[in-house]
Structure 1
Amino acid sequence: MKHYCILFSVLCTNLGFSQIPNGYYNNATGNGYVLKTQLYNIINQQNDQGYSAIDGFFRNYDLDNYYENNNTILDIYSENPEGQDPYNFTPLNDECGNYSFEGDCYNKEHIIPKSVFNENSPMQGDAHHLLPTDGRVNGFRGNFPMGRVDNNNLASQSGISNPTQNGSKLGDNLNSGYSSGYSGTVFEPINEFKGDIARIHFYFATRYQNQVPNWSSYAMFNGTIDQVFNTAFLNILLEWHNLDPVSQKEIDRNNAIYYEHQGNRNPFVDHPEYVNAIWNTEEDTQAPTEPSNLVASNPTANSIDLNWNAATDNVGLIGYNIYKEGSFHSNVNTTSTTIIGLSPETNFCFTVVAIDSSNNSSAPSNEACETTTNGSTGTGNADLFFSEYMEGSSYNKALEISNFSGATINLSNYELKLSSNGSSTWNSYSYSFPNNASIENTEVYVIMHGSATVCTDVEDDLNNSITEFNGNDAVGLFKNGVLIDILGSLGDDSDYAKNITLVRNTDVVAGSSIFDINEWTIYDDTNTCDDLGSHTQTLDISQNKNPEIKFYPNPLTGNTVYVDVLEKVDLEIYDLTGKKVFNYSLNPGTNLLPINSLSSGIYIIQLHNISKSWTRKIIKP
């Protein structure tokens, strides 16, 4: 790691984005089965790609970037989330084919068996309920419904162990407790994927609600358009959904299906609270347990990280309220967050309260306190950002990340993601920093391709996946799942940095969720890396102050927003997927922007002239 030269400090705020399309669920306003029908009307317009297209989808989007992170097929019947997998499948090479034993090959499994709907379309090719699974285990499961297996009554079949090598099992349903009411044969996946399976069933029951009454011969279905499931199986699915929250894998897969494959979403991944709003409508008065082990850490001059252990609830959580100094600060749906905009050299105390889907509140967590730094060394910026990018010949590729926060930053809450060839989702690779990795104030962290041949004395880590970029691939820096800086633009496959090196300009003080090539110095000579491993930031505060820009009203109250500026600037509005939806030129004085074409939501506004650019956020109700 190398030291910086730093002269001045400026504070900047970064904005992340979600990948649920803006306004997608605007019409989901009801409750119970009314809500279910509203969701059906939203998701039933899918672009059926057919059954044969699923193989290609698996190869690109059902890869293990979450456990071993080795880009093998992520198979729920062989994945061991607590250790080494018993075997792995290579995309394409290990597609079935014939099989005799576990580990021979993988094929396509319909979570709702295809015999239920007679292999008809679009159910046959619907990616939301098709998963790549071990061929032998898929055959072992057969057409049996999902359920809770009685360990004293396991099924026996030649050529396979029961439970299987990762713990999935086949046998009589345990006819007691939450799974009472059915005693036939069922298949049970491991706990890690029970919520996934439940939400797939809820999707299927909603997407095909007008057809499921015709499929009542399937043990899980009761022949109705509303409840869809027999009560015994509904109770099992609700239990699994509530005990196994939505995972990042599910979120990424949902985005890939929507943006890259068939154009509709699983609403129960985007909004898990919809499950209980539809199928569990009895009044819930039981509060969640309180979050535990709240820890405040990684203070900078203006931010503090918070982490805590999840609360539990009898129905389902929808999020956590964060309290700062006893007053409500924000709401999140994760068990970690970063509080920004704090004053330097000040002690802050926080508590967290869990909220369930009936708006019941838990008791507060323990109080956690931390003191922000003074920012006297380093610029006291809000967070890390990219400071150099090398896309050279062959494997000469590198990324450099800088710390101007005023304090050492532990990298456990950060990750990098790669989106290839103009994809609109972060679906290619993800990179987690090594355990206990950190960046001291005024230093950098360099990640290089393992086969690089230039500047190999400055790397802090080698990784061949996240450096698999080719000049038209977006690379994102995320903190606690929120995008805080980006190279390139999501959904744009134009070559912005092919065979060149980019070095962040010395007057740039923080990252941004919108890429601006004007913030970078371009070196056209291939394999330029003289500055790699160090970064100089020389700031003139007067150059980085925002012009007198005023937006009002914000949040908006109608279809017009006023913008006051002192100089001529160009304005562009982006939605939270990064898509430009509006552009305008502003003259000095008061400008009136007609934005009646914008749907309700949050938007990012970027203003720029020849030498400078600024970012704002507006909210349209």
Structure 2
Amino acid sequence: MARRRYSKKNQLVRLIIGAIILVVAYFFYGEISLEPEMNYGSNQNDDGYYYYTYVSDNDYYDGANGLINEALKQELHEILNENITRTSYAEAKNFLANSDVSLDDDTKVYNVYDGVLAPRTWDSTSWHREHVWPNSRLGVDRVTESERSIASDLHNLRAVTPRVNSSRSDRFYSEGSGEADTTEDGGFYPGDDHKGDVARIIFYMAVMYDDLTLTNDLALLLDESDHYTPDGARMGQLSVLLKWHKEDPVDAFERNRNNVIYEYQQNRNPFIDKPEYVHLIWENMAIDDLTQPEEEVVNYQSSLFMLMIKEHVYDI
């Protein structure tokens, strides 16, 4: 019994010593922070909205801190275009072999819409280059292999199974469920596992390029008379894409793809890094609407504090 009392007392002493050391380091040296890091995240509330976080100084998005609506959209446009390195449509074959690589099998690419794993090396038959925002709706001519333009933007290109690519054609996106398929209203459903990815690519394009427009107008989306012209540079349906953005959250594949493309093209998809920006630009929300509740922050801080204490105590 005496031995047990000694053990408990010893643990309490260790806990107190650990807490004192942490507090001293925090206040005097600033080496330990009990605040949650203000960085990229994808936590959502019960309604699917992503919580807002500020970024640190000199971060890729530091100029966007505190901005909403058109001001945020314009700032992101400038950030994305500042140092972009254009790649050709031909070069995209090699780049996509790296950006779209499967996280489960690095000898394969992960095809959009159906999730098929195809041989990573380009052979022109296993997978094609899909324009998520269709080439015919970009307001430019059909892309050529040597072209370096909006039509060769790597963020908008995905590896795709040829059969599915033909079925999708240049249809706009529309609501559905289950696997990828055409829809009764003339659109295309990208599949449950791909709809969020598609939405975030479309949002990137709408911010990256000023001449592109998002709409819910089915009559305009069904009108093919002005394809490959500036008047036809529109895509949708916006309301559906906003819904998908919440229902299919950012995943590890998207994050890895974003990082790889950044190495080649020197710009990022902000809606993968900062998914809350979608709400601030297209859903007329304020930063306060997306602020994480205080009790959740407190719980996070408490958990982090106890974890740090435990890790330190066991090192004593």
TM-score by length of 2: 0.67
| Alignment equivalent of 2:94, drawn from 39, 51, 56 | 56
Partner of 2:124: 96
Residue aligned with 2:111, SS = coil
Count of matched residue pairs: 254
Quote the Cα distance in structure 1 between the aligned partners of 2:285 and 2:62: 25
Gaps of 5+ in 2: 1-13, 23-30, 41-54, 227-232
Following superposition, the deviation at residue 323 of structure 1 comes to 5.6
More helix by share: 2
Following superposition, the deviation at residue 342 of structure 1 comes to 2.2
Residue identity matched to 2:248: D
Is 1:133 the counterpart of 2:160? The answer is yes
Residue aligned with 2:278, SS = helix
Structure 1 residues 70, 253: CA separation in 2 closer, same or farther (over 3 Å shift)?
A: closer
Following superposition, the deviation at residue 61 of structure 1 comes to 2.4
Quote the Cα distance in structure 2 between the aligned partners of 1:119 and 1:337: 53
Following superposition, the deviation at residue 106 of structure 1 comes to 0.7
Residue identity matched to 1:203: Y
Residue aligned with 2:63, SS = coil
Quote the Cα distance in structure 2 between the aligned partners of 1:339 and 1:38: 39
Is residue 167–residue 190 contact of structure 1 (8 Å, CA) maintained in 2?
Answer: yes
Following superposition, the deviation at residue 268 of structure 1 comes to 1.0
Within a 5 Å distance, the mapping from 1:38-57 to structure 2 comes to 38-45=75-82, 46-57=84-95
Within a 5 Å distance, the mapping from 1:246-265 to structure 2 comes to 246-258=250-262, 260-265=263-268
Partner of 2:142: 119
Quote the Cα distance in structure 1 between the aligned partners of 2:295 and 2:277: 23
1:227-255 alpha-carbon deviations (Å, 9 max, x no partner): x967x711111101111111121111111
1:167-223 alpha-carbon deviations (Å, 9 max, x no partner): 2101223xxxxxxxxxxx1110111211111111111000001x226x9997289x9
Residue aligned with 2:109, SS = coil
1:437-468 alpha-carbon deviations (Å, 9 max, x no partner): xxxxxxxxxxxxxxxxxxxxxxxxxxxxxxxx
More strand by share: 1
Partner of 1:546: none
Residue identity matched to 2:162: G
Residue identity matched to 2:174: G
Partner of 1:236: 240
Partner of 2:272: 269
1:100-136 alpha-carbon deviations (Å, 9 max, x no partner): xxxxx21100001112232364212101110001011
Structure 1 residues 53, 70: CA separation in 2 closer, same or farther (over 3 Å shift)?
A: closer
Is residue 145–residue 187 contact of structure 1 (8 Å, CA) maintained in 2?
Answer: yes
1:337-358 alpha-carbon deviations (Å, 9 max, x no partner): 89522258xxxxxxxxxxxxxx
Partner of 1:72: 108
Structure 1 residues 63, 282: CA separation in 2 closer, same or farther (over 3 Å shift)?
A: closer
Quote the Cα distance in structure 2 between the aligned partners of 1:43 and 1:92: 29
Quote the Cα distance in structure 1 between the aligned partners of 2:291 and 2:71: 20
Residue aligned with 1:108, SS = strand
Partner of 1:408: none
Quote the Cα distance in structure 1 between the aligned partners of 2:309 and 2:294: 18
Is residue 212–residue 234 contact of structure 2 (8 Å, CA) maintained in 1?
Answer: no
Following superposition, the deviation at residue 78 of structure 1 comes to 2.8
Is residue 49–residue 262 contact of structure 1 (8 Å, CA) maintained in 2?
Answer: yes
Partner of 2:221: 219
Is residue 127–residue 160 contact of structure 2 (8 Å, CA) maintained in 1?
Answer: yes
| Alignment equivalent of 2:174, drawn from 144, 147, 151 | 147
Residue identity matched to 2:59: G
Following superposition, the deviation at residue 53 of structure 1 comes to 1.4
Partner of 1:473: none
1:81-110 alpha-carbon deviations (Å, 9 max, x no partner): xxxxxx5311116x323xxxxxxx211000
Is 1:172 the counterpart of 2:184? The answer is yes
Within a 5 Å distance, the mapping from 1:397-412 to structure 2 comes to none
Structure 1 residues 61, 342: CA separation in 2 closer, same or farther (over 3 Å shift)?
A: same
Q: What do you get for the CA RMSD once the two structures are aligned?
A: 4.1
Residue identity matched to 1:73: V
Following superposition, the deviation at residue 146 of structure 1 comes to 1.2
Higher RCO (Cα < 8 Å, 6 or more apart): 2
Partner of 1:26: 62
> Could you tell me the percent identity over the aligned residues?
27
Gaps of 5+ in 1: 1-8, 80-86, 98-104, 152-165, 174-184, 288-316, 345-373, 382-540, 542-621
Larger radius of gyration: 1
Quote the Cα distance in structure 1 between the aligned partners of 2:59 and 2:287: 29
Within a 5 Å distance, the mapping from 1:329-348 to structure 2 comes to 329-330=300-301, 340-342=307-309
Quote the Cα distance in structure 2 between the aligned partners of 1:338 and 1:204: 41
Within a 5 Å distance, the mapping from 1:98-497 to structure 2 comes to 105-116=126-137, 117-119=140-142, 121-149=148-176, 167-173=179-185, 185-209=186-210, 211-212=211-212, 219=221, 233-258=237-262, 260-281=263-284, 327=298, 329-330=300-301, 340-342=307-309, 380-381=314-315
Quote the Cα distance in structure 2 between the aligned partners of 1:172 and 1:187: 9
Is residue 73–residue 91 contact of structure 1 (8 Å, CA) maintained in 2?
Answer: yes
Residue aligned with 1:191, SS = coil
Following superposition, the deviation at residue 76 of structure 1 comes to 2.2
Residue identity matched to 1:246: V
Following superposition, the deviation at residue 64 of structure 1 comes to 1.2
Following superposition, the deviation at residue 38 of structure 1 comes to 1.2
Residue identity matched to 2:72: L
